[in-house]
């Protein structure tokens, strides 16, 4: 049993303490040992420790304080640039300028990121995923000078925790696990699955703070709105075309 999996917490406050180089290298090595498609390893990891670089990247992550506070920020990218160059140098014609190839590389990058996070937590470090990397991919591409074939997928802050938040709630297993075939959800199933989440005190607080009637409305009307989803979808599609996918 890997206890770090069950004890995972997103850490957003970090101590002013550097990560030893040997520990960081072990985290990065764990990432590159991750499963990947065809053993191509079509991803790259950008390590950011420089304060000025973190300052530049901070707005792309909606100025969340931990981006500048954490000693290390890792940006995981889908990357066919390196693989394409290798193919061309070896008299092989790459055919990876398509959505399937992007998705393959994105999946590989995410798996590598999770390996890195598990290794970080096993060394007493805290981590926090930043989904904003794909929202503002265009700006991150410019800052990190990513060439064609490279697209940021996610970023992770890593450092020694300066907080100990409670475990985040999770839906029960029968909400996400299906055996043999997908079993669709009845109204009764939905009520049962979301009952505990909706009755949490923090959920009720979210509803009141946002003047909503239900927790679902907090998600649809405040946190992840249709307008924002459509805007960032367009940004991402433009990025993919610009980056050669």
Taking only the tens place, the pLDDT of each residue in 92-108 is 999 999 999 999 999 99
Say which DSSP state 14 is in: B
- Residues 10, 66: contact at Cβ < 8 Å? no
pLDDT digits (tens, 9 = 90+) for 176-216: 999 999 999 999 999 999 999 999 999 999 999 999 999 99
Q: Is the pLDDT of residue 42 over 80?
A: yes
Taken in order of first residue, the domains within the chain and their CATH numbers are 3-166 (3.40.109.10)
Confidence tier at 1 by pLDDT (50, 70, 90)? low
For residues 88 and 2, is the Cβ–Cβ distance under 8 A?
Answer: no
Residue 3 above 90 pLDDT?
Answer: no
Beta strands in 67-201 (DSSP E): 72-79, 126-130, 150-159
Q: What is the pLDDT of residues 142-154, one digit of tens each?
A: 999 999 999 999 9
125-138 per-position pLDDT tens digit: 999 999 999 999 99
**Partners of 47 in beta bridges:** 74
Is residue 57 scored above 90 in pLDDT?
A: yes
Cα separation, 36 vs 125, in Å, equals 25
Kindly list the distances between the CA atom of residue 183 and the CA atoms of 172, 173, 196, in Å, as whole numbers in the listed order.
Answer: 15, 13, 21
Closest CA to 34 of 119, 94, 97, 124: 119
Long-range contacts, stretch 229-238, CB < 8 angstroms, 24+ apart: 232/134, 232/135, 235/135, 235/136, 235/137, 235/138, 236/134, 236/135, 236/137, 238/138
Q: What share of the chain is helix, strand, coil (3-state, %, to 5)?
A: 55, 15, 35
pLDDT band of 4, cuts 50, 70, 90: confident
Q: What is the pLDDT of residue 95?
A: 97
What DSSP character marks residue 174? G
Mean pLDDT of 66-70: 97
Q: Who has greater pLDDT, 114 or 5?
A: 114
- Averaged pLDDT for residues 158-182: 96
Cα 240 from Cα 97, distance rounded (Å): 9
How buried is 27 (Cβ within 10 angstroms: 0-12 exposed, 13-18 middle, 19+ buried)? Answer: buried
Q: Are 80 and 149 in contact (CB under 8 A)?
A: yes
The SS3 of residue 221 is helix
**Residue pLDDT, tens place only, 44-55:** 999 999 999 999
């Amino acid at each position: 049993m890997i206890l770090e999996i069950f004890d995972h917490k997103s850490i957003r406050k970090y101590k002013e303490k550097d990560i030893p180089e040997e520990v960081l290298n072990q985290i990065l090595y764990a990432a590159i040992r991750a499963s990947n498609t065809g053993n191509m390893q079509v991803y790259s990891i950008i390590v950011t420790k420089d304060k000025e670089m973190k300052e530049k990247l901070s707005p792309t992550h909606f100025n969340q304080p931990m981006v500048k506070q954490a000693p290390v920020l890792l940006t995981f990218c889908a990357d066919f640039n390196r693989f394409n160059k290798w193919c061309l140098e070896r008299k092989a014609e790459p055919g990876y300028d398509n959505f399937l190839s992007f998705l393959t590389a994105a999946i590989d990058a995410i798996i590598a990121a999770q390996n890195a996070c598990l290794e970080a937590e096993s060394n007493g470090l805290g981590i926090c995923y930043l989904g904003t990397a794909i929202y503002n991919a265009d700006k991150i591409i410019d800052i990190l000078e990513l060439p064609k074939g490279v697209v940021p997928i996610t970023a992770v802050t890593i450092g020694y925790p300066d907080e100990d938040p409670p475990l985040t709630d999770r839906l029960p297993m029968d909400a996400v696990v299906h055996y043999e075939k997908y079993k669709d959800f009845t109204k009764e199933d939905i009520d049962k699955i979301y009952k505990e989440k909706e009755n949490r005190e923090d959920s009720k607080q979210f509803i009141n703070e946002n003047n909503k009637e239900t927790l679902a409305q907090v998600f649809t009307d405040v946190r992840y709105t249709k307008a924002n989803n459509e805007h960032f979808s367009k940004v991402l599609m433009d990025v993919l075309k610009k980056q050669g996918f």
